[in-house]
Amino acid sequence: MPVPCARCQAPVPNYFFVTTNWMRCPSCGTELLVRAFPALFAGPQAGATGEASLAGEAGCFYHAEKRAVVTCHQCGRFLCALCRVEFKGQDWCPGCLESSSRKRKQVDFENHRVLYDSAALAFATFPFLLFFWPSVIGAPLALYVSIRYWKAPTSILPRTKVRFLLAIVLALGQLALMGFIIYAIVNARRLA
| Exposure string for 155-182, b = 16+ CB within 10 A, e = fewer | eeeeeeeebbebbbebbeebbeeeeeee
pLDDT score at 87: 76
pLDDT tens string for the chain (192 positions)? 577 887 888 888 877 777 778 888 888 888 888 777 655 666 555 544 557 666 667 888 888 888 888 988 888 889 888 888 887 778 888 888 777 766 655 555 566 778 888 889 898 888 877 777 777 888 999 999 999 998 887 777 778 889 999 999 999 998 998 899 889 999 998 887
Give just the sign of the alpha carbon dihedral 9, 14, 15, 16. Answer: positive
Cα–Cα distance between 3 and 6 in angstroms, integer? 9
Q: Which of 93, 84, 92, 72 is nearest to 45 (CA)?
A: 84
| H or E segment and range at residue 70 | strand 70-71
Count the alpha carbons within 13 Å of 139 in the hemisphere toward its beta carbon: 19
Please tell me whether the overall predicted TM-score, pTM, comes out greater than 0.85 for this model. Answer: no
The C-alpha angle 91, 36, 55, rounded to 5 degrees, equals 100
Identify the pLDDT of residue 48: 46
